[in-house]
Structure 1
């Protein structure tokens, strides 16, 4: 007897649901995913408009007289854009939550784009809700404070913004860590590109937020809000490279008292030559730099790229010279002055020469050597140039209308690493070292690439130096990943026409050289735990001198660099953790370092 198969209604419904639900979930994800992308684009559009509005309100002349009403209107418009961006980001986050998105994101390999989409939407929501508001709202408050009480009081008033900035910085750091854990590669190229672009933007935002938090915490006290401060200010000549930038030449002593800045004196390096200071910076520093006698040879006081080392030594020199203690040290260069003079307008020297944004570097690091053959006259010119620029900047700081633009110029200076600040106060210095202005070589693990050159010839030819660095990850290994670092150095010095002081070789090499030939100590800094497997110079195998600084392996080459020539150094390394782009150590010279960081699929995902 045949048995009849009876399809119960509940069984049919279950089978139908099993067939329909995946399709419905897929359709839901497609529709909501498209809507979420549209919301994220709208949020990006609002944030772009917000940046333009903030830049317009930060332009010189945007804040007095009739500008008060306009400023209020601009502030209202900025709040509207901020709320709109936050609303779009929140909707994108809502659209990518729920059972369908959660389940899809858990699928092995196939779920990677959905995991990335969910992560970016959540990150955007947190940024718009918790990170951007305190940063955006601080700009009009700072400008209004400058208008009402003056620039000095407004800067000192930054202390009140510190807690909000610190909360924003913590959230930004958390979001960056969350995004770093999202899949780097998937079957959907658009998702991978979106993640990479968002990650790059987030890196800049997290760094900027951290630096704003550091500035709000340390700037008021460093500006003398709680008592007068005195700083040693060095003007670095980047025509002769040193680890922190350039040879320390002219200097000043800067006084800060309740936000008011003044200069107590100006001088040049001849006042510090022949002095000796005993500064103990540890055995590691002594091993790397002791033979160069940084405590008794002023010209070698800043060979390390770690600025706190140089600052300690400079403070020791000043104490040996005058018996006075300083509360910190600051380093700037002609590039710094140029960026700031773009806001303030030109400075006029006693002889009528104008120091402008466009000629600050050229005038001090090239033209002056041809103009002044007498060394004493040339050094006096450097001091006068430093004095004129500094006094012009001091006048600008007292002008409330210029404050926002000056802060914008300082951001440009910070990006190029042209200002470095050290505080003798341990708590302030700890915060400074975590930000861009501290000039610290980080001692944390992770992929790292640093190219540092020190002029070993005594020439002023680094005005003509070009540098490039290509960092390329290779195959994964049991010990991490292979990395190839390619360094190219080019000496553009002309074959004739340069003053003898620029081309003279005080190193007295035992081989024949021509005017314009240069010599450099080239240091490559790798990530902690990295090992060197081999190196070539212009295609020929060479041995590099190994060392260690702040936990980083350092490989050194003594390099002759003839005029009108390029030389290429290639290092083959094994990095223990190279799944993400490296931190780049940027030494600020006349011509910025050109860097190329190549990407590769992760060793583990």
Structure 2
């Protein structure tokens, strides 16, 4: 019969045994999909829980690290050690989670794994910080807690500080290595929150490294400098940066401080007018003599700090005081009224003999502005009683030093204040002991001009009018350089100076000039020097777009170009140096001269390779 005959028509449809095949397949697919879904949910849930654990542990590590620091500062040794141990444990738990097989598998996937790999690398740094930095720092910090370090009478406990130096050195090296490791953490790609955490970790590790480096330096030099091995003495200069000088301001007054076994005391207070001029000049080399010799800096204390290299000023003051008193000091320190305001914020106000209160809010204005109008003796021509004013300023300086060297309620606040002032170069220190000076020279306290070839633009203002108008001076500095494709590159340093002197009847010492040709009151005269990159040449100097002459010199290998600038009251003057400089390796540096203002500084100079 035909295959299509009705008798065989049943062969075209499913047999009873075949009918359930399709539903069974659907059931299997559903079961597979359900299984896959359940598995996916489980995986997501596991990763979610694991991520929560990581976040919880890293947050706990951070909080306990902060608690350890706070406990140490409060003198709670046991609390600091417990918190450090908890931070270390939490960090290790987070690291274990992030380095588990599932996390590592994801981290290995190109592109997709970027945030996972970044998180793993961050956990490694955090573990290193808690294990190799926090724990040993807390252990040695038992002897370095500010409450324990500074005794009842304000004396510093020096032997524990010296004993801690080797451990601090090791911890500092570990912190710097971890900071370098943190900088190498790969970007998180598509997860911005992880990238934000990476940036925060990089900043924190760098801060920790700098803190430990500074603490290590302190442990190395402070014991000897504060008299652990025998008494020391220092010339302390009070700089009035209302009249600019290279290291900050004119030396208006001074003190001689004696240190013995961690205790500081004032031995002598004096005015700059008490330092006579009949001194033997100090030879600081031909470059220095060529730059500053006409101003007799080593015999006239008013011009003793024209250079921005503080060791020169320190050596001059040592020479002057030796000839003045017969005593050879062990070093020199300089500070200014802005630094005193930070100190007064930490230690509290001082009260003068007449009952006047000087505190953080008024010390800068009192010493750099008000004092010059308070002691006017002739209203007709606004002359002032110079001796009475200097006596007033000397009294303020003495009271602040006396407060600092007495009983301190919060040593930590004082240390923070000193650290802030040092960071702004408002405290400078020079030691006549070579091994100490070698260490200080590499710090902000040393206030040195570096002799390496890296790009450099040091803008230095010296008052050229013999007045106090730099209290009203605002600065903007821009250093811009081309790329590093050739052996040399073009660069430009632009300096904008604004004279904000108010319309006030100031005495001549504030707003006049000593020049033979009188200028309108309130005119600021400045000698503006640029210490440029080693090997740089000046192609053009201009003031407000008009070409100007520049006096050329050399200081510690840096070509120096000096331009006299006149800034009328209420005006802004733009000085521009156009240069050709070597494409030397290193980051560009623009050190800030510590005057009264907080200048705006921009740097657009690409770092060239080695």
Shorter-chain TM band: 0.7 to 0.9
In the TM superposition, residue 531 of structure 1 has moved relative to its aligned partner by: 4.0
Partners of 2:481 and 2:186 in 1: how far apart? 18
Q: What residue in structure 1 maps to residue 429 of structure 2?
A: 421
Q: 1:192 to 1:485 in 2, by over 3 A?
A: farther
2:520 is matched with 514
Cα distance change of structure 1 residues 145 and 179 upon mapping to structure 2, 3 Å threshold: closer
Offset at residue 74 of structure 1 (A): 4.3
Q: Which residue of 2 aligns with 1:366?
A: 369
SS in 2 for 1:452: strand
Deviation at 1:86, TM superposition (A): 4.7
Structure 1 residue 395 corresponds to structure 2 residue 395 = no
Structure 1 gap ranges (5+): 1-30, 64-70
Deviations 1:372-411 (A, max 9, x none): 1211111111111111111111113xx4x42222112222
String of CA shifts for 1:170-210, please: whole Å, max 9, x gaps. Answer: 344445566778899x9999999888776655554443332
Show CA shifts across 1:51-79 (max 9, x none): 47635864xxx56xxxxxxx356424641
1:130 aligns with 2:135: no
Matching residue within 304, 307, 313 for 1:304: 307
Match for 1:586 among 558, 580, 592? 592
Give distance in 2, aligned partners of 1:482 and 1:122: 43
Would the alpha carbon gap of residues 147 and 298 (structure 1) be closer, same or farther in structure 2, given more than 3 Å must change? closer
Partner in structure 2 of residue 567 of structure 1: 573
Q: 1:456 aligns with which of 444, 464, 470?
A: 464
Whether 1:321 aligns to 2:324 is yes
Aligned in 2, Cα 1:525/1:590: closer, same or farther, shift over 3 Å?
same
Report deviation, 1:587: 1.3
Counterparts of 2:100 and 2:280, CA distance in 1 = 64
Q: Report the Cα distance in structure 2 between the residues aligned to 1:239 and 1:245, rounded to whole angstroms.
A: 9
Cα shift at 1:541: 3.6
1:220 aligns with 2:223: yes
Conserved? CA contact 1:467–1:488, under 8 Å: yes
- Name 2:510's counterpart in structure 1: 502
Does 1:545 pair with 2:551? Answer: yes
Partner of 1:596: 602
Query: CA-to-partner distance for each residue in 1:425-464, whole Å, 9 max, x for gaps?
Result: 1101111111221121222232333221111111111111
Partners of 2:369 and 2:471 within 8 A in 1: yes
For these two proteins, the number of residue pairs brought into alignment is 556
- Stretch deviating more after TM superposition (304-313 or 489-498): 489-498
Question: Structure 1 residues 196 and 241, CA, compared in 2 at 3 Å: closer, same or farther?
Answer: farther
CA separation in 1, counterparts of 2:580 and 2:93?
Answer: 44
**Counterpart of 2:155 in 1: which secondary structure?**
helix
Which of 47, 54, 60 is equivalent to 2:69?
54
Q: How does 1:137-286 map to 2 (within 5 A)?
A: 137-143=139-145, 145-146=148-149, 152-174=155-177, 203-286=206-289
| Structure 2 counterpart SS, 1:505 | coil
Structure 2: runs of 5+ lacking an equivalent: 1-45, 376-383
Distance, in Å, in 2 between the alignment partners of 1:324 and 1:254 is 12
Q: Distance in 2 between matches of 1:182 and 1:121?
A: 10
Give me the TM-score of the superposition, normalised by structure 1. 0.80
1:309 alignment partner, SS class: helix
Seen in structure 2, the aligned counterparts of structure 1 residues 550 and 148 have a Cα distance that, compared at 3 Å, is closer
What do residues 325-356 of structure 1 show as CA deviations (whole Å, max 9, x unaligned)?
11111111111211111121111111111111
CA distance in 1, matches of 2:345, 2:262: 23
The answer to whether the 8 A contact 1:157-1:220 is kept is no
Report if the CA contact (8 A) 1:238-1:463 is conserved. yes
CA 328–299 in structure 1, closer or farther in 2 if over 3 Å, else same: same
Distance 1:85 1:504 in 2: 66
Question: Deviation string for 1:447-502 (max 9, x for gaps)?
Answer: 33322111111111111111122333444431255444332111111133322221
SS at match of 1:141: coil
Cα contact 1:117–1:191 (8 A) shared by 2: yes
Cα pair distance change 1:197/1:445, threshold 3 Å: farther
Q: Which residue of 2 aligns with 1:87?
A: 92
**Aligned residue in 2 for 1:488:** 496
Structure 1, 348-357 or 549-558: larger mean CA deviation: 549-558
Q: For residues 216 and 452 of structure 1, what CA distance do their matches in structure 2 show?
A: 32
Secondary structure at the counterpart of residue 435 of structure 2: helix
Q: Is the 8 A contact 1:82 1:133 kept in 2?
A: no
Residues 1:549 and 1:198: Cα distance change in structure 2 (over 3 Å): farther
C-alpha displacement of 1:528: 3.1
Tell me whether 556-565 or 491-500 shows the greater mean CA deviation: 491-500
Contact 2:71 2:80 in 1 (8 A): no
Q: Report what 1:66 is aligned to.
A: none
Structure 2 residue matching 1:477: 3-state secondary structure: coil
Aligned-partner Cα distance in 1 for 2:257–2:67: 35
Is the aligned partner of 1:381 residue 2:381?
no
Once residues 526 and 450 of structure 1 are traced to their aligned partners in structure 2, the CA distance between those partners, rounded to angstroms, is 7
In the TM superposition, residue 553 of structure 1 has moved relative to its aligned partner by 2.9
Deviation at 1:222, TM superposition (A): 0.7
2:240, 2:250 within 8 Å by CA — same for their partners in 1?
yes
Structure 2 CA distance for partners of 1:383 and 1:153, relative to 1, 3 Å = closer
Question: Bigger radius of gyration, 1 or 2?
Answer: 2
CA RMSD between the two structures: 4.0
1:526 aligns with 2:532: yes
